[in-house]
């Protein structure tokens, strides 16, 4: 059963769009009103708050947009959820005011602690491959574990085992998306504790550059797919 805050958020969203308010602005306002950190909805488990402090606002946006199906243009919704491109540009201050300061701060935790952290091993493994190629060495065997050793001081498997042991989680063969986000945020905090400030800053810059690089590639691919789907006149 939805909490009173969640019910109010959904009511606000439906009323706002039915009265002609832009769906994206109404969505952000509904996100500000939302109260639950996770929920079961239509057979799916949604965890919006990772580690109790990192807010995945796009996941909540996906969930809430199901409440106003038919009011949101499919292309605009796809661009928001898959390309992280909103239908209308807002300043950082406007975005913060719409979702509220607490959720905005938690959003930053997610942005740096989950999204950016995911790209750090990719960035470092890329550096390792370049060094190997310069030495005439080929093959990627062990590169990812080398990257994890360089960043966190342990292999990916060792870190995942430690994470699950701390959380008292069972150890399945695979890891789900929700647990992956929690594990990634745990890695972020683990790195903050063991690395000095200069290394943390350098690591974050590498990850941000990798994220920007892949985001540009993803945007180009999305634009290409859009153009390819246009009818031939």
Is there a domain that residue 230 lies in? Answer: no
Same domain, 72 and 127: no
Average of pLDDT values for 53-65? Answer: 97
Cα–Cα distances in Å, from 221 out to 20, 83, 88, 143, 168? 32, 10, 21, 27, 41
Token reading at 38? 């996770």
Is there a domain that residue 213 lies in? Answer: no
Is there a domain that residue 226 lies in? Answer: no
Average of pLDDT values for 157-181? Answer: 87
Q: What is the pLDDT of residues 125-156, one digit of tens each?
A: 999 999 888 888 777 778 999 999 999 999 99
Query: How high is the pLDDT of residue 228?
Result: 40
Same domain, 114 and 94: no
Same domain, 9 and 95: yes
Token reading at 146? 């080398």
Same domain, 82 and 11: yes
27-31, 176-180, 215-219: range with highest mean pLDDT: 27-31
Query: How high is the pLDDT of residue 224?
Result: 41
Is there a domain that residue 64 lies in? Answer: yes
Closest C-alpha among 101, 97, 72, 100 to residue 87: 72
Same domain, 158 and 191: yes
Query: How high is the pLDDT of residue 221?
Result: 55
Task: Tell me how crowded residue 228 is: count the other CB atoms within 10 A of its CB.
Answer: 7
The H-or-E segment that residue 40 falls in is strand 38-41
Residue 64 belongs to domain spanning? 4-99
Task: Tell me what percent of the residues of the chain surpass a pLDDT of 90.
Answer: 72
Residues sharing a CB contact under 8 Å with residue 86, sequence separation 6 or more, in sequence order: 24, 79, 80
Greater pLDDT, 16 or 211: 16
User: Which of 55, 82, 99 is the endpoint of a domain?
Assistant: 99
Same domain, 15 and 77: yes
Q: What is the pLDDT of residues 78-117, one digit of tens each?
A: 999 998 899 999 999 999 999 999 999 999 999 999 999 9
Cα 42 from chain centre? 22
């Amino acid at each position: 059963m939805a909490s009173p805050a969640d019910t109010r958020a959904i009511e606000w969203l439906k009323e706002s769009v039915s009265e002609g308010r832009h769906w994206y602005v109404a969505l952000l306002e509904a996100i500000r009103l939302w109260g639950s950190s996770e929920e079961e909805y239509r057979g799916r488990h949604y965890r919006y708050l990772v580690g109790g402090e990192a807010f995945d606002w796009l996941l909540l946006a996906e969930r809430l947009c199901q409440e106003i199906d038919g009011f949101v243009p499919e292309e605009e919704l796809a661009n928001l959820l898959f390309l992280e491109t909103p239908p209308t540009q807002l300043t950082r201050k406007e975005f913060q005011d719409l979702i509220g300061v607490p959720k905005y701060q938690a959003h930053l935790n997610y942005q740096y602690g989950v999204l950016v952290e995911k790209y750090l091993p990719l960035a470092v493994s890329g550096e390792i491959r370049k060094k190997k190629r310069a030495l005439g060495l080929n093959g990627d065997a062990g590169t990812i574990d080398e990257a994890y050793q360089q960043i966190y001081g342990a292999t990916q498997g060792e870190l995942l085992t430690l994470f699950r042991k701390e959380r008292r989680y069972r150890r399945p063969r695979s890891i789900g998306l929700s647990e992956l986000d929690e594990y990634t945020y745990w890695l972020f905090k683990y790195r903050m504790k063991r690395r000095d400030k200069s290394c943390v800053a350098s690591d974050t810059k590498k990850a941000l550059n990798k994220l920007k690089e892949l985001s540009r590639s993803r945007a180009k691919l999305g634009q290409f797919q859009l153009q390819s789907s246009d009818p031939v006149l």
